A and B are shown apart, each in its own frame.
Chain A
Amino acid sequence: MLNFGNSLFLFALAGLAVPILLHLINRELAVSLKFPSIRFIDRSQLPRREKRKLRDLLLLALRLLLFAATVLAFAKPVWVTPLTTVAEGTTLEQTIYLVDASSSMARGNQWQAAKSALRNDLANTDAAEVGLVAYADRVLIQMSPSTDPDPIENFIQELQPSYSAGNPGTAIETAVRLFNPEAKSRLVIVSDFQETDWQRDLPGVAEDMDLVFLRPEESEAPNIGIANVNTVPVGKNQARVLVMVRNHSTEAQTVPVTLNSESDSQEKLLNLSAGQLGNVTFTVDVEEPRAMSANLPADSYNRDNSWHFWIAPPPVVRVYAFLPNLDEPQAVNAFYFFQTALEVESDSDWVRFEVTALNRGFFERSLLEEADVLVIPAAGAFLRDGQWDDLKAYLDQGRTAIMLPGESFPRQFRSLERSGMMASRFLGLAGNTNERQTPYHFGSINPSSRLSQTFADAASKDLFLVNVYKYVRLQKSDLDTTLIAFENGEPALISLAVGQGTLYASTFAFDTSWTDLPLRNSFLPLVRELVQEGFNTDRLRRQFFIEETQSLPEPVVEPSAFELDGQFWEVNMNPSESIAGTVDTDQWLPALLSQKPLYANAVPGAGTLPGDSGPKTEFWPWLLMIALICILLESLLTGIKDTAQSSSLGRPNPV
């Protein structure tokens, strides 16, 4: 059977009329010529029909062939082996049941209805061979068509909907491959045709494949499901739990939301309009990590009635600030600003900071070991040579330090250069303390840093309005990373890689004589993000949907919250399975499936992939070769014709 990959190109064959018209027009048009005087030229009848030359006809035929071959080549004609009868007078008929076992099929009594419909069809089918493909997010089982329907019946009996979202694409591909290419194929899809599953990229099936859609009766009972749960710390020992609940029914509902753990239980009522997403908040103690679940009462779809999560104290980040000289006002001011910014309770950060000041005598390696982040505000100049080594050793372990300049900034930056921690070169001070009329402003944030996400969009506006009255000028080296740069391109905040760790060096002090940054809104997020840049607070909690765990070494089959290797795992069902919308199986879905490129007929046997070699013949290379030959012959003939014309006095220059 002849098929076309791009059949729309066939319309271009209408263009065959163009060469014919050109030939006809060429024959009848007189050439315009400006002549000195037409006084003696009488009007004459043009010859009615120029003698048709064989060469002209051949040229016309060549041009037609060239055009047709080119158009057909673009239409990608393929000769595929047509369906043939297995035996003389009979045709093998095969039916494959594609069963949706995604979580949404567990709604109401849909699963039982689906199995009944399948059994009913199985009992009444005329097909000689029947097969089965069951799927959820992946193919769960595939049974090649056989004459014995009993294994299918047995398997259906055992099969239960999984907790995963559905992905029918791979299942359809599998089912199509299972068909015998020479058989008359019938694909029966048993599914709820939930739109979140079926509005994905679907493969195509052969146009002559018989598609049957078995949709079980939908449950009319209301469904309310949990869409998500968030936890944020409140104070040192408490956390706020935010449960988001969606009403999927068409009527307003009042539902009790329960928060359960091994030790206690809380309940709150929530009113939800039709289709509304609502929140309910609980406050719980978090002295110890514990697994919890948010629950709803039973309804038509029970699987979205619970959400498993961990509640645990936020990780404490210990920040040590080196304050060797309490008479140094810049150092004290910077420490105060830092401490205030870090100890603010934030709903958005699952982290808690503990800021401790270290006196001169306490800056030693053993104490530093306890710090997650070390801040050296205006005190770099006070570090002795041995302490620079201690700092370097501390950073080598993958820790983070933040260094701010003070009055003795030359000594601090030269020491950084000398110790090899900073590759940039110290140049001096920019700005005049006495004349603050021309402050400097930030010009850019490094797009690959965490700061760029925090200060995206409107949040960045305030940061770029910060006034900096003076700063330490550095000749930037490529080895150091600039996190924030001034408008003139000079670094304002640089990141120095020291071993496994990072030293953040500001070129201006966090003091009002240097800048108004500590007094602005952007100070708090800047300091907190800077501290967290080197401390990943998300590393303790791991959140997955069921189907996402399939790629892990040990897939999880049911929603749960558990601890594994010191990490808190939260595995829940994908809330997309609660969506009640379905796709149109009367027109949209059959049309979508049949519009895709065909390969069922082209595949020689079951189990081979689409695109594999088979009994199909591609014609386009031959057509292109014909077109090429036509071009050569056409050029040759045109050349001969031009030579002949020019030898017979030639035509004048057209007007």
Chain B
Amino acid sequence: MAVAYKDFLDPAHLTRIENYSLMAKTAVEGFLSGMHRSVFHGFGTEFLQYRNYVPGEDLKYLDWKVYAKRDELVTKVYQEETSMNCYFVVDASASHHYQGERAACTKLRYACMIAASLAYLATRQGDNISLFAYQDTIVEALEPGHRTGQLHRFLQALTRLQPEGQANHERLLKSMTHHMRSRGLVVYLSDMLEAEETLPRMLQNLRFQHCDVLALQILDPDERDLPHGYPVRYIDSETEKEVVASADAVRGEYEKSMDQFMDDLKNGYRRAQVDYKPLITTDHLGHALSQYLHHRESLA
């Protein structure tokens, strides 16, 4: 039975592939094979002009149609596109360790799969890729580059990530602005919990650095609907604070608060002109990939 390309992007399927390199290749190639053929042709090179053929040049650059029409040997000249820096920022705080019953992987694993897939796609297109992973400090930092091994180093850094500590968004974004030397695309991956006021403002600052920002919020399905049907002692992953509650009793209020939180985030990002996309760890990776390609195309 043929495998639908969506199957390749299902986190339940991809999370079984331990190796990020293989996972990213599977996801991206699967994703691209499902797209319309002509949409992304021409990436990397751009037609500039014709010039007369000089003997000795490679015949593959001859325009045979012009020769047929005008009986002239002319050569097509292309202009190499300037490569772009793609910054991936991954929040690896302790709250990303959560994995509910319905999810196939933790939130961090999901974020890493998205980062790996987008990085693979970017490398495939000749872009420079860079990585910043942080908790209360920066735990992984990779300078932009596109040479051989950059993707491997990128994926290795992702593999080393362990969800721990509290997220210090402010410190990350301050130190990150020092490292950014040229324009590019920032892909920010986080659950953004308890930061609906600060994060849009801080990411807006990146736009002042001539960067386009794509904010991807990663949440577990449990965080949306609090499904537990029994008394639970909830322990905050980052602060270790506890609250005992019967989910049935507090679910209504919780869902309302979460909706308000998401709305606040959405409005904040809109005001900051930052593209925002909430993702659930059960969503297939196509959402993130298409969002990325959309941005990349607009930048090109």
Contact = CB atoms under 8 A, between A and B. Distances in A.
Contacts of B257: 39-40
Nearest to B99: A653
A37 B228 contact: no
A41 B245 contact: yes
Interface in B227-268: 227-238, 241-246, 249-250, 253-254, 257-258, 261
A36 B243 CA distance: 13
Interface of A: 29-47, 648-652, 655
Interface in B84-99: 95-98
B99 to A, nearest CB: 8
A327 to B, nearest CB: 96
Contacts of B96: 36
Q: For the complex of A and B, list the 8 residue pairs with the smallest distance between their C-beta atoms, beginning with the closest.
A: A36-B95, A40-B257, A30-B231, A44-B249, A44-B245, A37-B193, A30-B233, A32-B233
Give the residue among A31, A40, A43, A46 with the most B Cβ atoms within 10 A: A40
A31 B243 contact: no
Contact of B232 (A31, A37, A45, A648): A31
A31 B100 CA distance: 14
Contact of B250 (A34, A36, A41, A47): A41
A7 B249 CA distance: 52
A650 B193 CA distance: 25
A46 B246 contact: yes
Contacts of B233: 30-33
Contacts of B222: 35
Given A36-B191, A41-B226, A46 B98 contact: no
Contact of B235 (A33, A40, A44, A47): A33
A157 B231 CA distance: 89
Given A32-B233, A652-B232, 7 more contacts: A32-B232, A32-B235, A34-B98, A37-B237, A39-B257, A40-B261, A655-B235
A31 B241 CA distance: 15
Contacts of A37: 95, 193-194, 223, 236-238
B107 interface: yes
A547 B250 CA distance: 91
Contact of B254 (A40, A45, A46, A47): A40
B220 interface: yes
Contacts of B57: none
A648 B229 contact: yes
A652 B100 contact: yes
A43 B243 contact: yes
29 contacts: A31-B230, A31-B233, A32-B235, A33-B228, A34-B97, A35-B222, A36-B96, A36-B107, A36-B223, A38-B243, A39-B194, A40-B257, A41-B234, A41-B254, A42-B243, A42-B245, A42-B253, A43-B244, A43-B245, A44-B245, A44-B246, A44-B249, A46-B231, A46-B246, A47-B231, A648-B229, A649-B101, A649-B227, A649-B228
Given A30-B233, A38-B234, A652 B101 contact: yes
Contacts of B226: 41
A34 B243 contact: no
A652 to B, nearest CB: 7
Contact of A649 (B223, B229, B236): B229
B68 to A, nearest CB: 65
Interface string B277-293: 00000000000000000
A47 B232 CA distance: 12
Interface of B: 95-98, 100-101, 107, 191, 193-194, 220, 222-223, 226-238, 241-246, 249-250, 253-254, 257-258, 261
Nearest to A42: B250
Contacts of B245: 41-44
Nearest to A46: B231
Nearest to B249: A44
A494 B42 CA distance: 102
Contact of B231 (A31, A40, A42): A31
Contacts of B107: 36
A39 B194 CA distance: 8
B83 to A, nearest CB: 37
Contact of A35 (B236, B246, B250, B261): B236
B228 A652 contact: yes
Nearest to B226: A41
A33 B194 contact: no
Nearest to A653: B99
Of the candidates A29, A31, A34, the one having the most CB atoms from chain B within 10 angstroms of its own CB is A34
Contact of A651 (B98, B230, B235, B258): B230
B101 A650 contact: yes
Nearest to A43: B243
B254 to A, nearest CB: 5
Contacts of A35: 98, 222, 234-237
A36 B237 contact: yes
Contacts of B228: 33, 649, 651-652
A45 B245 CA distance: 7
Contacts of A655: 235
Contacts of A38: 234-236, 241-243
A646 to B, nearest CB: 9
Nearest to A646: B101
B254 A36 contact: no
Nearest to B96: A36
B249 A36 contact: no
A46 B258 CA distance: 22
A38 B232 CA distance: 12
A296 to B, nearest CB: 90
Nearest to B245: A44
Nearest to A37: B193
A58 B223 CA distance: 36
A34 B228 CA distance: 13
Contacts of B220: 36
Nearest to A35: B234
Which of B222, B231, B243, B246 lies at the interface centre, i.e. has the most chain A CB atoms within 10 A of its CB? B231
A35 to B, nearest CB: 5
Contacts of B193: 36-37, 39
Nearest to B235: A34
B153 to A, nearest CB: 29
Contacts of B230: 30-31, 651
A35 B219 CA distance: 12
A45 B249 contact: yes
B156 to A, nearest CB: 26
B253 A40 contact: yes
Nearest to A649: B227
Contacts of A650: 101
Contacts of A652: 100-101, 228, 232
A37 B191 CA distance: 10
A36 B257 CA distance: 15
A34 B232 contact: no
Contacts of A40: 253-254, 257-258, 261
Contacts of B100: 652
Contacts of A651: 228, 230
A33 B236 CA distance: 9
A654 to B, nearest CB: 10
B235 A30 contact: no
Given A30-B244, A41-B250, A45-B246, A36 B98 contact: yes
Contacts of A44: 244-246, 249-250
Contact of A47 (B95, B194, B246): B246
Contacts of A30: 230-233, 244
A322 B187 CA distance: 113
Nearest to B241: A38
A651 B247 CA distance: 12
A652 B99 CA distance: 9
B181 to A, nearest CB: 34
A42 B252 CA distance: 11
